[in-house]
Structure 1
């Protein structure tokens, strides 16, 4: 993308034509094709999948790099800033709806479907003699029995880590507004470390639940909803950590000022959203 050839006036910035959309389309095509080939055990599937991932990474680095260059060169005005803020706001709203659907599935299962199955006890006893309308439900034969997750221990530690990360990120934002670059860098670095610790502890928790507590995806509705909600949240923590790492690298290069730092703000919005979702998970998945 050539910033010098872009259309730029006092109201809005229109970039010159970019190659990155077509590159992204090629990457997604390779990912889909590679996944289909790999599922069908075609030898070349993994290589096509790897190529697609590499092209997608190249596209992300290149496209976001162009945006960073445009921002640092002063091409963006107030109207572009409004567009970015609205775009990030709608993106986070879509993420809220994404998790709302999964919380809704958990609510429906626990509050509606399980009691209904227990209400028709005579009918259900003919199909499942040992069924009990309790949560979490014991499913399958005794060999497939599992133990429910407890809120204390690793989940409580992870909650403390994420809440602390919200504090360190807010501290970093304060440092940016006060033009204290050392505070900005340190606070952002601590937030990244806390995010990595969260992911490591969640991986250990999964290993413990799967191998020792026998809680798997096949462990009925409880196992499915547990891994669905915590797994997607963990993926969001991973993405948020990568975004914050990118912001930290930009800070080391002298980017962001008290008046122009929406890239940092957007990352902070996303991270605080991830924190709030985890609080809901901790209460509704682990505690209740």
Structure 2
């Protein structure tokens, strides 16, 4: 595979994909906001926005893959990709840090304050409110519910993701050893583990709604539970799609021991997803 000279930096041509991404995300956010506020058109608008995001991702990434295979990139571009991926993962860390912060605030600060802080505000506004965590807040928002136990499906999903971290590492080692068959085999195993994780999470959500009456509207516990686990599930879905793509690329021989940033970028993202889940398992399910 030819590569661009290390003396020149590749400047990409004009691209329509950033505009498509901006429009897609805007449509998706507008749809979600309307859906959550009870507007009938919100759900369809959200799905249209998500479909546009998927279209954009495949189109934009496909362009990058074709340019890479043509040898348009050099070591300097590779460093730029790595720095960009690191900053992207950092932004994702901050994204989840905000939601973990919301959980911390609700659980450690606001609920104890409502239960009888220095000013005993609840005695005036929410007489009789005396629950502790997990709570659905003053007024029993969303009705009575049961919490999700940690040692059933959540524990199985923890084992699945930890195992997937091992399989993708084994695949990376095989790639660096130029063993194509084992690279693809361990990547396929990682994809399978991700799909099984998502299947179990979907079952857990159905069980929560139907058997536990635990919904997104079950007060602060329900909203933080589904917000954290739901966004994590979305990231696992995206990560699984990325894994499928690099599995196909590995099978086609797109990677070499010295040139496989796309593989490494997806592996970094997947390890990030693993670490976030460990935090979720401890702070949402166990504690």
TM range (shorter): 0.7 to 0.9
Please name the residue that 1:12 is paired with.
Answer: 9
For residues 267-278 of structure 1, what are the structure 2 equivalents within 5 Å?
267-278=266-277
Q: Deviations over 1:235-288 (max 9, x none)?
A: 000000001111111112111101000000000000000000000000000111
Q: Structure 1 residue 188 and structure 2 residue 187: aligned?
A: yes
CA–CA separation in structure 2 for the residues paired with 1:133 and 1:49: 36
Please name the residue that 1:136 is paired with.
Answer: 134
Return closer, same or farther for 1:67/1:152 CA change in 2, 3 Å cut-off.
same
TM-score (norm 1): 0.87
Q: Does the Cα contact within 8 Å between 1:233 and 1:274 map onto a contact in 2? A: yes
Uncovered stretches (5+) of structure 1, i.e. residues with no partner? 1-6
Q: Which moved more, 1:223-232 or 1:29-38?
A: 29-38
**TM-superposed deviation, 1:210:** 1.1
Please name the residue that 2:161 is paired with.
Answer: 162
Please name the residue that 1:103 is paired with.
Answer: 100
Tell me how many residue pairs correspond in the alignment. 280
SS in 1 for 2:115: helix
Q: Deviations over 1:32-74 (max 9, x none)?
A: 787799875569x94x776665554443323211211111222
Please name the residue that 2:245 is paired with.
Answer: 246
Uncovered stretches (5+) of structure 2, i.e. residues with no partner? none
SS in 2 for 1:13: coil
Q: Structure 1 residue 84 and structure 2 residue 85: aligned?
A: no
Return closer, same or farther for 1:287/1:57 CA change in 2, 3 Å cut-off.
closer
TM-score (norm 2): 0.87
CA–CA separation in structure 2 for the residues paired with 1:15 and 1:138: 51
CA–CA separation in structure 2 for the residues paired with 1:172 and 1:230: 27
Q: Does the Cα contact within 8 Å between 2:198 and 2:233 map onto a contact in 1? A: yes
CA–CA separation in structure 2 for the residues paired with 1:22 and 1:207: 36
Please name the residue that 1:112 is paired with.
Answer: 109
RMSD: 2.8
**TM-superposed deviation, 1:230:** 0.4
